[in-house]
Amino acid sequence: MSKVNTSKNNAFLIDMTKCTGCRGCQVACKQWNQLAAEKTEFFSGEGYQNPPAMSEYTFTRIKFRDYQKNGQNEFAFYKEMCMHCNDPACASVCPVGAFKKTAEGPVIYKADRCIGCRFCMIACPFGVPKYEWSKGLPLVKKCTGCYSRVLEGMKPACATACPTAITYGRRDEMIKLAEERLAKHPNKYIHKVYGKEEAGGTSVIYLTSLPFNELGFKPVTLRPLPDYTWQALRMVPAAFLAVGGGLSALSWITHRRDRLKHEKAAEQVDNPAEEKED
């Protein structure tokens, strides 16, 4: 996979000490991406977040963490979303190039290329890509970093809606700002900028006052994950890769044909042909 010039790479700085749990980012994300509402039940096993997990209908959510401090009940919040890795594992394993790291920062997804193999779901260390289980011809769904907005010079919808916690800008400037906050308030934060090095660096970085593992952050290597992907793939004989590539191509052709047929049938239902004149 060719490296992308990330000199213009933007990033989210999410300061969880400033998050109020308003979930305005969730609403803005759904509105901008025109994501349907989903039927959920209140879930308090892991926290007080709702919906209980990201899905094809939910690209981001606020996770709740309740704890005690000085004998008082307190809440901490964690915004879960695609990390938009500098060197994304999803792109490295996709056999048809459906995922791409852009120079602006977001990792985008091209649905017209997807064959539904779900390798990306296995490779992602953050568990971000979700499958469209509700559809007969399912694809993968995930946060796009509001790429279309970024190209027009706007901020992502969640960053625009957030009143306190999210800052968006050049990645190097966001890291500098995070480190300045750590230096200025050493007793306020855990002394770590999460995402600066994790998985080779990400375009979503966090500050928090609680240990990251207590908030539910998954431990990941600092090494770019495609390095491991390559180590695994290089052990597979070329013949198997050729067969796999051929099967992927065949699956893509079949999947695309079925999808186009399904879309054509839907158009005919929506726009029935006019009756011929006698």
pLDDT in tens, 103-131: 999 999 999 998 888 889 989 999 999 99
Instruction: Give residue 44's pLDDT.
Output: 55
In a domain, 207, yes or no: yes
Q: Which domain covers residue 258, as residue numbers?
A: 236-270
CATH number at residue 154: 3.30.70.20
pLDDT of residue 149: 97
Q: Look at residue 276 and tell me if it is in a domain.
A: no
Average pLDDT for residues 122-141, to the nearest whole number? 89
**Structural domain count of the chain:** 2
Burial class (CB in 10 A: 0-12, 13-18, 19+), 175: middle
pLDDT on residue 166: 98
Asked whether residue 261 is assigned to any structural domain, the reply reads yes
Query: Looking at the structure, do residues 129 and 196 belong to the same domain, yes or no?
Result: yes
Q: Is residue 278 part of a domain?
A: no
pTM: 0.79
Say if residue 96 is in the same domain as residue 138: yes
| pLDDT tops 90 at residue 12 | yes
Task: Give the percent of the chain with pLDDT over 70.
Answer: 76
Contacts with 61 (C-beta within 8 Å, 6 or more apart), sequence order: 23, 26, 49, 51, 53, 54, 79, 80
Same domain for 246 and 154, yes or no, is no
CA distances from 26 to 80, 198, 202, 235 (A): 10, 24, 21, 42
Q: Answer yes or no: is 230 within a domain.
A: no
* 41-83 residue pLDDT tens: 766 556 678 888 899 999 999 988 877 777 777 778 899 999 9
What digits encode the pLDDT tens for the residues 144-199? 999 999 999 999 999 999 999 999 999 999 999 999 999 999 999 999 999 999 99
Same domain, 112 and 207: yes
Answer yes or no: is 259 within a domain: yes
Instruction: Judge if 212 and 259 occupy the same domain.
Output: no
> What pLDDT is attached to residue 3?
60
My answer on whether 255 and 174 are in the same domain is no
> Is residue 252 domain-shared with residue 194, that is, in the same domain?
no
pLDDT at 272 > cutoff 60: no
Residue 51: per-residue pLDDT = 87
260 and 174 housed in the same domain: no
Whether 133 and 260 map to the same domain: the answer is: no
The closest alpha carbon to 196, from 185, 188, 187, 207, belongs to 207
Same domain, 101 and 6: yes
- The answer as to whether 182 is a domain residue is yes
Q: Are residues 177 and 242 in the same domain?
A: no
